[in-house]
Amino acid sequence: MVGLALAQCIQACDALGQNLARCISMMLNM
């Protein structure tokens, strides 16, 4: 389940052109 959420997060961040590391960091904080 976490893997799927992370994949969606990565896709969203990639689409927005944001920093992937920041996206993952935010994911870990949840």
How many domains does the chain divide into? Answer: 1
pLDDT at residue 13 greater than cutoff 70: no
pLDDT at residue 5 greater than cutoff 70: yes
pLDDT at 3: 79
Percent pLDDT > 70 in the chain is 63
The token pair at 24 is: 């993952």
pTM of the predicted model, to two decimals?
0.38
pLDDT at residue 17 greater than cutoff 70: no
pLDDT greater at residue 1 or residue 21:
21
> Cα separation of 25 and 17, whole Å?
16
> Cα separation of 22 and 1, whole Å?
20
Q: Where are the alpha helices (DSSP H) in 1-30?
A: 2-16, 20-29
